[in-house]
Every structure is written in C-alpha cells, then in structure tokens.
Structure 1
Amino acid sequence: MWGEKAWVSPASLRLPHSSTAFQIALPRQVDKFCCRTAVKKPLLYTTQLTVRFPRLAPMALITVTILAVTTVFLILRVGKARKLPQGLREVPVAGNVTDMGAYPQQQLRKWAAEYGELFQVRFGRQVWIYANSPSAVKEIFDKQSQHTSSRAPSPVVSDLLSGGMRFLLMPYSAEWRRLRAIVHKLLTPKASNEFIPSQEFEAKQLLWDILTDNDSQKNFYMHIRRYTTSVVMTSTYGRRVPVWECEDIREIYGLMQEFSEFATPGKYLAETFQVLAYLPQWMQWWRKAALRSFNRQAVIWMKYWNRLRTQMEKNQAPDCFVKQFINTDYKKMGISELQASFVAGTMIEAGSETTSSALNSCVKYLAAYPEAQAKAFAELRRVVGEDRLPSFRDEAELPYIRACVKEILRIRPVTTLGSPHYTSADVVYKDWFIPANTTVAINQHALHFDPARYENPDDFVPDRYLQHPLKAGAYAAHADPYARDHFDFGAGRRICPGMHLAENSLFITIACLVWAFEILPPLTDDGKIGSVDVSDAAYEEGMNTLPKPSELRFVPRSEKVVGLIRREWQHAKQEGYMLGLVKVNAQGMVVD
C-alpha cells in the first residue's frame, strides 16, 4: 500500500546519542555537514501527522512585509471566469482547514453528498478539487493521467528534506517515469509472489508470538507491526526483522518520526507561501535543519544499500527488490545510487505501517462483528481443516477471507484526506474545468461509503465482495469504473506499486489468525467482557489511518491448534525458507 498515501510517520522517538561527521554528495543542496543519528530503545512507535500552528523563528519576521504584499496581490488579482467545481465558504487565510475537524473523512463524506461528483476546498493557499464518483476518478486520474500524475510543489518537505528523491513526492518528470518503470517491473504480481515463502514464514512467527505473548491483551498490536515491517524489509533488502526491539526498527521509525515532524501541515510557511523559497538561502531559517535531516536519511539508506552490495559481492545476497534493482542498468538511465537507495527507503516507509494499520484494523472489526468472523472460520475449517495451517494454495477456495481483505480496505482506507495528485495541464471533466497547477484528490471515503453502491456502508460486511474473485489491480484496470472493488490503492500512474505484496500479506495473515484464534473483546479488570471500539475515535487524529493501540483476546481454537502452531514454528526456525533460489535461515541470513 505504498503509492497513494499522504505520508507515513511514527510518533515518539527522539534521535540522538552517537554522532558522526561525514561528507556526501547532495543534489542541488550542500556538500558537507554534521550528522547526528540515534539509537534509542523505543517503547511504542505510532505513525501519524497532526496539524499544528507553526512557531515562527526570528528570521520569519523579516518576511512579514513580503507576505503582506504577496497576499494583497493574490486577493486583488482578477482571473478569467471559469466553470470550476463548486467551492465552499471559506475562512480568510485558513480556507477550509477549520471545517475539517479531528476526523476530516467525516466532513469529506458530507461535502460529497451535498456537492456531487466534484467540489473544491482551500487549505491555506492550496486549492484541492475532490473527485467523488468512480466515473470522475476513471476520467480524471486514468484517462487523463498524463496531466494528473504530478505532485504539488513542496520546497521544504520534498526539495530539501527529501533532496528531491522521495519517490512518492517527486513531480511527474522523465526521472520519475524511469524510476516508476523499474519499480512496477520489480513489483508485478509474479515478482511479488516470489516472497510468498517469506510471508508464510513470518505468519508462523506471528501466530507463535501472539500465542505466547498476549496475556496483557495488548501485545498483538506490536507483533502485527513487526510482521509487516519484516515482510517489507525482506522484500526490499532480503533482511528479516525477527524482533521489534532492534536497530533496524529504531533507525527506520526514527527517520519516519523526524520526517513526520517536518511534514506536519502548517509547520513551515514556505510550504504554504512558496514565494519564500526564493529568498536568499541565509534568510531561509528552515533550511539547515531540513538538510541535516536529509543527510541522516542518506546515511541510513546508503548503509542498507551498501550492505546488500557487499552481500552480492560475496554471493550471499538473497533475492529481493534492491538486488534486482542493482542488476538493472539504472546507472545508464542516469539514476544515482543515492536516488536508488531513497526509492528503496520510500518502499520501506510506505509499506510498513499501512499494511499493519489494515491488519490491526481488521482484527478489531472481526472482534466487533462476530458473525463475520464466524463465517470466515467456517470457511477455513471446511477448506483447510485442523491438521495444517492455511497457505496461499488455498486462496482460490477462500473467497470469504479474500472478501475480508477487500472490506477492511474499503471501510478503513489508508488516508483520511484522500489521495492527492497535481495537474500539469488543464483538465476537463464533463462541463467542469480543472486548471493546471491544481491539487486533485480521490475522495476514498465518499466513494467507499456511498449508500447507492454499498448497503449499510458503515458496517463491516465482507459478504458484499463475494462476487469479486480478482485482485484489486484487475478491477482498477477494468473499463467500467463501477466495477472497481475499492479505491484504497489510488488510480492512474500513481497507483500503488506495492499493492500485490500488500494484498498477499493481508490474505495470509487474516487466514492464519482466524484459523488459529477466536478474536474476542477484552476482559475488564473485574472480569467482565469489554467492548471493541471501531469508531473514528479509536483511530489517531491526522492524515493517515492508524488504529490506536487497543486490547483484544486471542483464544486458541483448540489444543490441537496450539500444538500445531508450536511444531510449525519450531520447524520453520530450523529449516528457514526460500527467497527465489536462495535458502534463508530464521535470522535472515543466506544458508550455503
């Protein structure tokens, strides 16, 4: 679930205790400065963005006059009359930000019901136009994708903090198209299926972890997050994450935390008033901090990249995305190693938390809707039985499990604000005109909760997808826009390249968890059965859909199941698994 998210970030890690001075080539930025990285044992990482008012540095006061003059000019400027999508009543300066509230998806649904297929809102200086019908998404994002596949200019978050290299934030360009071609080639359904042995291995550890370490009714949350991070790291670098408390987790989530702090909407005036990016560099008070952060990212992503290169030189590298990337002619295409390492890093950032969010959401909904869980278990008992674990070989005979995957992606899409693209030319849909240099967004919540398409849309009802036997990519490519199962992976040329890997992870994990455990509401301190909250209040505030840590019971289906989980995990630890033609042990190391 990697291509269509706003951005992912964790919430509570401070970086530093060791420091290193180094020199590294930086594109269009600077040549040298000091990096400080941290290795700090985390208690709990969460990923989210929240909106805060910026604290102005002293240098910001120098620009007050510039802002005032610019604002007056923009207000007085008279443009040609256009037939634009209907706009909403705005608050001066803030636009519609104050209308959004803590859970913007609720307001976006209401506006779609009121204004129809398209409407426009303003967030500060930025105008967003939302597409609220399948036909609008098909026409604007698929058929006119050559004009709607860019990203909005971002002088701080994209240009400085990411060095112009973060794949998800790059504008539509020849460089982005070259990278996209490589990424999609290496993440096809066939290529993604190469990692099925890894996903089945990780699912066995997940069952064991929950079986032996969920007495608090809380630890399942982190075990699921370890599972998804390990799957993504294995597919990207051939490197497992066997435990949550490890250096890789601290580094990756540390970078994500720092990125989220910089990317918080409203933190930097230069993101809203982009004329400030043209100030002399010495007046850009945000510049040094952003470049230091970029340097930290570069060091960590290049460390992973170089480590795999060393493994390749020793013929000890398992098959993975980066190994295949290195074996392409990427340098002949003008792609640097640093840029390539950022593409791999973006995959790790984007893929880890989105999939774990969907899984942690799904177990909550299964506990809250026992009738759906009962149907899923009955199917598993009929097809799989009690003498073995589910596997991908069973997928065709498990339509209800597949329906659970689709339903959780419908009811809890990855972002609360929709999937934003940016127009590089004028776009026309029906009798609406969308000018160039405008943000256009897919309103997943309006699409997924349309009562005309989904009966009782606020209820978790996997049965609605029993007539959808194909994966999401097949429905996204369908000529009929109303044939799509859901829009969680986006659309057009920015559609999520990692959706095949994500769907595989969701399928095998949900199948194994429901086969092994009855997922129940928690017990309260006085021994009573508690409740399961699946309302918006059970999710973190911000741009990305992230369930808050919660409590659930995972009760083994039988003693026979307990014994099988134990034997399967012991055998998996001894035998390892195959990545392509290479055998890997439980530590993620290649076995001769």
Structure 2
Amino acid sequence: MAYSSLVLLIAAAFALGLLAISSNKRSQPKNGSKFPPGPPGKPLVGNLPDIPPKHSWLKFKKWSDQYGPLMRLNIAGREHYVASTEKVANDLLRERGGIYSSREQLPAAVQLLSKNLRPLFWPYNDTWRDGRKFMHQVSNSTVVGNYQATQILESARMLRDLIKDPNNYEHWFERYSAGIIFRLAFGKTLETGHEQSVRNVFNVVHTVERVASPGAYLVDTFPSLLILPQAIAPFKQELAGLHERELKLFRKLLNDVKSEMKAGTAPDCWEKDYLERKAEFPHLNEDEAAYVVGTLFEAGAGTTAAAMMSFMLTMVLHPEWFKKLQQEVDTVCGNDRLPTIDDATQLPIMRAVVKEVLRWRPVTAGGVPHYSIKDDVYNGHFIPAGTNIHANQWAIHREPGLYPDPDSFKPERWLESSYPTYREPLTTYPNLHNYSAFGFGRRICPGQNIAERSLYLLTARIAWACDVGKAEKDGVEVEPPLYDYTSGFNVQPNWFAFDLKARSQERVSVLEKEIEKNGKEDPLKGRM
C-alpha cells in the first residue's frame, strides 16, 4: 500500500473516532420538542451511503414524501434538515433569517478553494453584509433599467448566431450571459465568447460548482483530514493550485480597471464603482471585493444560460406552448420590430412560460444549504445550532397543494384563476420577484432582477424570430430525454438535438438592422 494511502486511512480512522465523540456532545431536544423524522442511518456514517452522488434532490423528494416537509438526515455526524415546502422554507430561511442566513465552512470549497474569499460561502457577518450591500447597489430594481441597452444588443447578437448555428446553442446562451456581466462588471466587450478571460471565468464557475457538490471531497465529510500536510494530501495540492488560478484572475480583472482609471479611460462598470466608493465598504478588502464582482458573474452567467437551455428543451417537448408564445408576441410586436423589455407587461403568456420552466426544471434544484447559528424549535421540531438547512427546490416546486399535477409542464397555472398560484392583474403577474427559484431569505440570488429581464427578453425574441421543433433522423422525430441533466449544484440539460430556423427572411433583416444600429452606438465597442 502506498504511503499516502496509508496516511489517509489512518486519518480517516482518526476522523471516525472524533465523530463518535462529537456525536455524543450534540445538542439535544428541549422544552418538549423532538427531532423531525427521517430515514434511518447506519452507525457513524448515518445516511451518507444512501445519498446518490448525482441529483440528490430526487432522493430527498422521495424521502420527504415519506417523512414530511421537514426531514432530518445525519451525514457522518453532521446535521442536515431538508425543507420540502415553500412555507417551511420561508418560515425558517426568511422569517427567521437572523438564525438561518449563515453557511457551513466546509473545508474543500470554502477553506481550500476559496480561502474564505467567496461571498457565496461567507458566514453571516459584517464582511458578508458589506458584500451584499455592494451587490444590491449594482443590481437592484431601480438601477437595472440602466442596463437595457446592453441586454438589447447582446440578445440580438445571440439570436443572430443561434439562427445561423443552432447546434451550438449552449455557447450562444453562455456568450450572452457572459457578455452582459463582462460589460457591466468589468467594462469589457466580448466578440466571440471564446476570449481567454471568458474561458478562465467559466472554468472558475464550473470548478466551484464541482468542488462544492456534496460528496466531491472526503475532507468535507471528515474535516480532520485537514491535519494532513500538503505534501501527502493530493486534495490540498489540487485545491491550492485552483485557488491561485482564480485569485490571479479576479485580481487581474480588478487591476485592469485600476489601470484604466489612472489613464482616464475606464468605462463605467461595477469594479470602477467599487474603487471609487470603497470607503463605504470598510469590511471589504480589495481581494474580497474582486470576489464579490466575480461572484456576481458566477451567479448570473451560468444560471441564466442554464435556464435558457431548459427553456429550449421544454419548448421542443411542448410545441403547443411555443405556438402560443409566437402568437402573443406577434400580436404585440408585429413583423417589423423585435420585442423589448418594455413589452413584458403585455406578454403574460411569455412570463408564465418562463416561470413554469424555472419551476419544472429548476437550475439550483437542491438549493444551496443555509446554516443555523443557534438552537431553535419549529412546529415542535428541534433544530440544533450547526444544522444545514436545504431548501429542496425540486420538492418545493412539486408541492401538490400549491402546484396541482406538479410533474406536468402547465404555464396555465399562472394564468387561470382556478389554480392556487394565480394572481392578478396579468400586466404585473406572473413575475419572478422573490420567486423561490432564486433562493430564500437574506441569501436570495442578488442578480435576480437582471436575470428576470434577460429571461423575458431572450424568450420573447426567440419566439418572435424562430420556429423550433424536434430534430429528425432518417425521417423520424428524435424525442429529447425528459431529465438528462448535468451534475453539480447548478444544473442544465446535457446537449440535445432540435430543429431551429428563422420564421422569415424579413425578420432576419429586422434583426440585422437592430444589431447594426445598436452596435454603432455601443460606447464599449472594441475595448476587449
């Protein structure tokens, strides 16, 4: 046996011993409360062997159907509770946000990969508050209207290239999302989406999703493995290298803006905004601020693209709703102009389709767990300090009382008064404001206002310009799979074949004229 493997085994055995000791010191129910029910576990490892390494939310949903809307799991001595209804999630994560807004400081993603610099994993403290304050200032509902010209131009470029090369749809959606954030965050334009800086940022995004996935690293289950020196701990060596790569990238993006500010050539962007007003954020140093802006990219670019990929899959599977979309957009916009964000109030079917896609195929299906900082009792159930609370969006979005026939794609549930989710007026509802697909409480996605406008714009424009249907092979329609999705805590459908073409050459001409007009007016043109 290799020396390093022997050391790992000894350390794991040591970790199990510590686990047995610590489990006896865990807080116990008080004041007549009791632990919530959950599946029985095994000695020492608890429920760990029963949790699948991929799409764990599907298993959690099955367990919640058996054990109830608040379910307890034990994962190698760590307390995990799963909330499976919107009410329970809101009661805990929003109404009691002072208790449930922190994060567990997991060794792999938080300490070794991020070196405690990534806001997604910050505990609920002053640094987090300053980071959140900055995020809110650049993405709140009051300022997002200033970003409309950028979204209009990037969406038109995406649409043109999607029509030319629909098989490369994943790239076009990612380039749109990356292009928006690069312009807003760093003042840079993208031409191809293959620029090295873009690839580097997306590599960081995919890395953190992989590293933070449950079960990805043994050290998260047995934190005492951190005692191993880096020389004989391959996971430490790997994660140290990945951290240096992302820190170098985020520092360079910030320093580029610094240099442009000194030269007097810096365009307005989020990093310039921070540098000019950093005295307002005394608990953020420059590395932390660079990660704040990087996190806005992580939160916005990948998730918006993933949602649009799910939209395409859903329209291929449900062409009757794509036809309804086309009819609605044609009624409002006609043949001579593309939809704009301002048209959204007149497009309730479009908004309902978007909201239903996010319900039916949530991007963050398992939710990012919150962490309790003190003992609590909820509906007679004891929740000890140090508990991870998972808002299982897959189950939350399939609660039969709120979403009748939950496994079916039914946008009418947002449009017809016979459904419990219906609200009026339809010029305002449905919308995505504080929608559970974006998370809960004080940890709700900071970029939701930008994402909502992007999803509306892209969806309406695809319906206006394109016909979409199933691909054919040897004269037979190819049925895409219902749920063949990537792994990680943010997921998207694996590549699938479909047919897409322009509805008419006249509409393509309208599209090209918009790109030409807006491209000439683009103040950032050529800055990348």
Counterpart position of 2:419: none
CA distance in 2, matches of 1:92, 1:192: 52
- 2:285 aligned to which of 332, 336, 351: 336
CA distance in 1, matches of 2:28, 2:251: 49
Contact 1:59 1:285 in 2 (8 A): no
CA distance in 1, matches of 2:214, 2:61: 21
Counterpart position of 2:477: 529
Counterpart position of 1:26: none
Residue 456 (str. 1) matches residue 405 (str. 2): yes
Counterpart position of 2:418: none
CA distance in 2, matches of 1:284, 1:555: 52
Counterpart position of 1:516: 465
- 1:149 aligned to which of 91, 95, 101: 101
* Count of aligned positions: 512
- 2:17 aligned to which of 64, 69, 73: 69
Counterpart position of 2:486: 540
Q: One-letter code of the match for 1:556?
A: A
Counterpart position of 1:195: 147
Residues 271-297 of structure 1, C-alpha deviations (whole Å, 9 max, x = no match): 212234356777766434433322221
Closer, same or farther in 2 for the Cα pair 1:123/1:62, shift >3 Å?
A: closer
Residue 568 (str. 1) matches residue 505 (str. 2): no
Aligned pairs for 1:361-372 (under 5 A) are 361-372=310-321
Secondary structure at 1:329 match in 2: helix
CA distance in 1, matches of 2:284, 2:356: 39
CA RMSD of aligned residues (A): 2.4
Q: One-letter code of the match for 1:85?
A: P
Residues 421-442 of structure 1, C-alpha deviations (whole Å, 9 max, x = no match): 0000112212111110000111
Contact 2:178 2:193 in 1 (8 A): no
Counterpart position of 1:166: 118
Contact 1:60 1:285 in 2 (8 A): no
CA distance in 1, matches of 2:26, 2:368: 30
**Identity fraction in percent:** 29
Counterpart position of 1:320: 269
Q: One-letter code of the match for 1:409?
A: L
Counterpart position of 2:323: 374
- 2:156 aligned to which of 204, 227, 241: 204
Contact 1:221 1:550 in 2 (8 A): no
Q: One-letter code of the match for 1:114?
A: Q
CA distance in 1, matches of 2:318, 2:19: 52
Q: Which moved more, 1:152-161 or 1:362-371?
A: 152-161
Q: One-letter code of the match for 2:50?
A: D
Secondary structure at 2:160 match in 1: helix
CA distance in 2, matches of 1:248, 1:167: 21
Greater relative contact order (CA < 8 Å, ≥ 6 in sequence): 1
Counterpart position of 1:95: 46
Residue 445 (str. 1) matches residue 400 (str. 2): no
Residues 185-243 of structure 1, C-alpha deviations (whole Å, 9 max, x = no match): 221012222111111101110111012223xxx21222112111111222221222221
Closer, same or farther in 2 for the Cα pair 1:287/1:331, shift >3 Å?
A: farther
Residue 553 (str. 1) matches residue 499 (str. 2): yes
Deviation at 1:261, TM superposition (A): 5.2
Secondary structure at 2:369 match in 1: strand
Deviation at 1:260, TM superposition (A): 4.8
Deviation at 1:555, TM superposition (A): 2.0
- 1:182 aligned to which of 116, 121, 134: 134
Contact 1:205 1:569 in 2 (8 A): yes
CA distance in 2, matches of 1:332, 1:392: 32
Residue 232 (str. 1) matches residue 181 (str. 2): yes
Aligned pairs for 1:125-140 (under 5 A) are 125-140=77-92
Residue 408 (str. 1) matches residue 357 (str. 2): yes
Secondary structure at 2:80 match in 1: strand
Secondary structure at 1:428 match in 2: strand
Secondary structure at 2:39 match in 1: coil
Contiguous gaps of at least 5 residues in structure 2: 416-421
Residue 299 (str. 1) matches residue 239 (str. 2): no
Secondary structure at 1:219 match in 2: helix
- 1:395 aligned to which of 344, 347, 355: 344
CA distance in 2, matches of 1:224, 1:117: 35
Deviation at 1:302, TM superposition (A): 0.7
Residues 252-277 of structure 1, C-alpha deviations (whole Å, 9 max, x = no match): 12333444554454343332122343
CA distance in 1, matches of 2:186, 2:318: 38
Contiguous gaps of at least 5 residues in structure 1: 1-54, 477-485, 577-582
Deviation at 1:177, TM superposition (A): 1.4
CA distance in 2, matches of 1:185, 1:544: 25
Deviation at 1:352, TM superposition (A): 1.4
Secondary structure at 2:264 match in 1: coil
